[in-house]
Structure 1
Amino acid sequence: MNIKPIIILAFLISLSLTNVVVSARLFPNVSSWLNAHAPTGGAWDAFLNFTGCHRGDKYDGLANLKSYFERFGYFPHAPPSSNFSDEFDDALESAIKTYQKNFNLNVTGVLDDATVQQIVLPRCGVADIINGTTTMNAAKENETASFSKPKFHTVAHFTLFPGMPRWPEGTQELTYAFFPGNGLSDAVKGVFAAAFARWAEVTSLKFRETASYFGADIRIGFFSGDHGDGEPFDGSLGTLAHAFSPTNGRFHLDAAEDWVVSGDVTRSALPTAVDLESVAVHEIGHLLGLGHSSVEEAVMFPTISSRKKKVVLARDDIEGIQFLYGSNPNFNGSTATSAPERDASDGGRCLTCVGPSSGVFALLTFAFLF
């Protein structure tokens, strides 16, 4: 087989994507940029105006809130092009109750302050309800939505992707590489190495960096906006990163975020500071086959506040990954400790990552590249 045309094609495709591959905002020293930026608003801050709204009310913009709930699976039967009204109807009340249950809020069906504050937070782009199965709290109550058959396999509190995809039985080592267009420093690459090491500590898997991006099992890159995989990034805050289930191997991070490479992220005065290792550890969990956990202390919990470091695997994370790959024979039952996992004094903003449940997209050209 003549692979020369394939190599040339890959090169031409990479050139065509130079407009979406940008230098990531990576900060090796937190103290050098404490006052460099002003706080930014959240994507859904307008929903704060709906606090106290309940069934029977009518407010301008409620249609947008319904679209939000549709996006995340709470209106399973609504057609994509549906035109929602601004009326607080029975369907919206039902969606809110399900949402409140998923996020451990008081189930009232009313847009109370706690519910609205949760809604406006930046979050994971994966739906909370997929094919009728909620990925939140599923293990705690062992329940699924009634409008479809369950698709998620649940063990303890962690979840696995539909079909329980994993790297092939007998896999001992996975290679990873970085997108050449990013030109990442050794310090940045070292953050990812540390993140991989946290999973290797508790499983039989090992991870090794390779220079061959197209030949690596896992391919890591920072991208901006619509980068061709069907999951466009949204700029600062919102969706931080996404990774795909085995054995796809793609791991993309939003280049527009204020990524902290080293230093104490919890002391940053910048509301948008995001700890790179914390996000990397979470996304690697997706790459290995884990879905989101309903345990807030778990690395695989869907959200993480800005100015927070959360890299130590919780018991739920360990049980999930060992269910898939077994235990490291040298694992003594506890993982390495890290910097204090606390929010900034003002609470910070809640940021998320995304791990799509499908590793296949229609844009095959881009799938080949990434």
Structure 2
Amino acid sequence: MTPKSDISLFIVTLLLLLLTLFSFLSNASAKEPLSKSSSPFKFIEHLKGCHKGDRVKGINELKKYLHKFGYLNYKNHVHFDTDDFDELLEEAIKTYQLNFHLKATGVLDDKTVSKMMMPRCGMPDIINFSSSMRSTRINRGSIHINSVHYSFPDGNPKWSSAKFNLTYGFLASTPSQAMGPVAKAFATWAKNTHFKFSKAQSGSADLKISFERRAHGDQYPFNGPGGELAHAFYPPDGRLHYDAEESWSAGPKPGTYDLESVALHEIGHLLGLGHSSIEGAAMYPIIPEGQSLSLKGDDLQGIKALYG
């Protein structure tokens, strides 16, 4: 063979090797569940089986987790920073278990740990200890079961009757491929409510969508892939933030999170809905990878109850 033929053969072989490697890496990343490999909530797995009276390293991190999502509030911060599994922590776990239709034992059993480790919305399930996911209600330290499952944040914030025509805009951090799925989610809410949504310049829009990383100036920092996927603020704030570090897709795909489904959930917050304890409802706080969401009866009953 001539030197020129040798060079051509080498280039072809190298290209084939690179294509094979790219295909392997693409398939591997698609099949590897994000929540299992890199979840910021993975520390909870180490606490499986813990119960009142235990002292295990990492329990203080669990207290911070439950505090963030509204289940736990220590007036004495000395207890908050310890690894002691005390009575308040047990009650918080019981409330969490009731919200997610688990056996309310106060023990970190397999099902509870598994649920806590799943990716979710960053908004609290319980706000100021006065509202919940409505499968439970907290009243002076007691737990009561309610018959409805949608919820509203404290004070029932909502848009006035003069603001049923809302505009939305995308900040510069928003990838272009996210805009279509988010617009579809707005269209779904419009089809099922009296709200009308139209796109506008982000500076003048009522609702502003952006992609952010870690601490981003709103006191609700993201915590990396497989943790808190997004959050949105109640009326009349209008901000919706996606975690830019997550693997996003237009449509449900293995190893990614569906942009439209997450928007469907977060738009519910923008309109004034809290979380629902109905698994499969758009307002259920846990958003699994590779799956899509749709509005369910509980979501629509909630928005109707809020706006009439």
Please classify the TM superposition score into its range, dividing by the shorter chain length. 0.7 to 0.9
Task: Give runs of aligned pairs for residues 93-108 of structure 1, distance below 5 A.
Answer: 93-108=90-105
2:54 to 36, 49, 57: 57
Identity of aligned residues (%): 43
| Corresponding position: 1:293 with 2:285 | no
Deviation of 1:172 after TM superposition, in Å, equals 3.7
Q: Which of 125, 128, 131 is 1:131 aligned to?
A: 128
Amino acid at match of 1:252: H
Is 1:159 aligned with 2:141?
Answer: no
Aligned to 2:11: none
Distance 1:172 1:63 in 2: 44
Secondary structure of the 1:222 match is strand
Alpha-carbon distance in 2 for matches of 1:324, 1:58 = 43
Deviates more, 1:163-172 or 1:245-254: 163-172
1:217 matched to 2:227? no
Instruction: Name the residue aligned to 1:66.
Output: 63
* Aligned residue number for residue 146 of structure 1: 140
2:116 maps to: 119
Distance 1:193 1:147 in 2: 42
Matched with 1:35 is 28
Displacement of 1:46 in angstroms is: 2.5
Partner of 1:321: 303
Alignment correspondent of 2:22:
none
Determine if the alignment matches structure 1 residue 246 to structure 2 residue 235.
yes
Structure 1 pair 60–288 and aligned structure 2 pair: CA distance change class (3 A):
closer
Residue by residue over 1:19-73, the C-alpha shift from the partner in whole angstroms, topping out at 9 and shown as x without a partner, is: xxxxxxxxxxxxx944347653221323222222233333333333333333333
Do the aligned residues in 1 keep the contact of 2:121 with 2:287 (CA within 8 Å)? no
1:177 is matched with which residue: 163, 169, 176?
169
Provide the C-alpha distance between the structure 1 equivalents of 2:173 and 2:304, rounded to a whole number of angstroms: 35
> How far apart, CA to CA, are the structure 2 residues paired with 1:298 and 1:61?
32
> What is the aligned partner in structure 2 of residue 367 from structure 1?
none
User: Aligned pair 1:278/2:278, yes or no?
Assistant: no
Instruction: Report whether the alignment pairs 1:189 with 2:179.
Output: yes
Structure 1, unaligned runs of 5 or more: 1-31, 149-153, 327-370
Residues 1:209 and 1:97: Cα distance change in structure 2 (over 3 Å):
same
Report the TM-score when normalising by structure 1: 0.68
Structure number, greater radius of gyration: 2
Give CA-to-partner distance per residue, 1:249-303, whole Å, 9 cap, x none.
11111111111024x52xx2x3xx1000000111111111111112112111111
Structure 2 CA distance, aligned partners of 1:203 and 1:111? 40
**Judging changes above 3 Å, is the alpha-carbon distance between structure 1 residues 166 and 90 closer, same or farther for their aligned structure 2 residues?**
closer
State the Cα RMSD in Å.
2.8
The structure in which a higher percent of residues are helix is 2
- In 1, Cα distance between the equivalents of 2:202 and 2:99? 38
**Alpha-carbon spacing, 1:131–1:147, altered in 2? closer, same or farther (3 Å):** farther
TM-score, normalised to structure 2's length?
0.80
How far apart, CA to CA, are the structure 2 residues paired with 1:162 and 1:92? 23
The residue type equivalent to 2:99 in the other structure is N
Q: In the superposition, relative to structure 1, how do residues 300 and 181 fare at CA in structure 2: closer, same or farther (>3 Å)? A: closer
- SS at 1:251's partner residue? strand
Amino acid at match of 2:120: R
Report how many residues are paired. Answer: 279
> Which residue in the other structure is 2:247 paired with?
258
Distance 1:66 1:109 in 2: 13
How far apart are residue 124 of structure 1 and its match? 3.4
Three-state SS of the structure 1 residue aligned to 2:167 is strand
SS in 2 for 1:133: coil
Structure 2: stretches of 5+ with no match in the other structure: 1-24
CA distance in 2, matches of 1:252, 1:192: 12
Aligned to 1:346: none
Q: CA deviation at 1:195?
A: 0.5
Q: Secondary structure at the match of 1:91?
A: helix
Aligned 8 A contact 1:202 1:322 in 2:
no
Cα separation, partners in 2 of 1:166 and 1:91, compared to 1, 3 Å: closer
- Following superposition, the deviation at residue 130 of structure 1 comes to 2.7
Task: Give the structure, 1 or 2, with the largest relative contact order (CA under 8 Å, sep 6 or more).
Answer: 1
Residues 69 and 192 of structure 1, relative CA distance in 2, 3 Å threshold: closer
Structure 2 Cα separation of the partners of residues 121 and 107 of structure 1: 19
The equivalent of 2:7 in structure 1 is: none
Cα displacement (A) at 1:113: 1.4
